Amino acid sequence: SRFETCWPALMKDSHGVIIIFNPELPSHLKEIEMWYSCFVQQQPLLDSQCLLVAHHKPGSPGDTENLSLAYPLNKLKLIHSNLEDDPEDVRMEFIKYFRSIITIINESREREEMSIIS
């Protein structure tokens, strides 16, 4: 990718990664493995700091809803988004995800402070 030189800057001090993909494109399913490897495993971030979003275009066949991803992607939280349906579910999932990231940040900050004190 022509943007690979920017990746270190994008990754610096990041606390979470959201990967949005089109589940109908087989090429996307291969690419998300690469994104996961670069942005999550190599950082390293916890799997809980990564969210996968399978975005369904309007009028797309719904048979990709029961998407089964291979290891290690199957360990990640996967949500389906579809702007035709009620977007409230997706909004709630994003809020849950952001809350979990904030918890992780706070816990690591507390650990750092305790290690400085002790």
For 43-56, how does the pLDDT look when each residue is reduced to its tens digit (9 = 90+)? 889 999 999 999 98
The predicted-structure confidence for 94-109, as pLDDT tens digits, reads as follows 999 999 999 999 999 9
Question: Quick one: which H or E segment has residue 81?
Answer: strand 77-82
The predicted-structure confidence for 52-77, as pLDDT tens digits, reads as follows 999 988 877 655 567 888 899 999 99
How high does pLDDT run on average in the chain? 87
Q: Which of 53, 56, 62, 39 has its CA nearest to residue 91?
A: 53
Domain housing 107: 4-117
pTM: 0.83
Total domains in the chain come to: 1
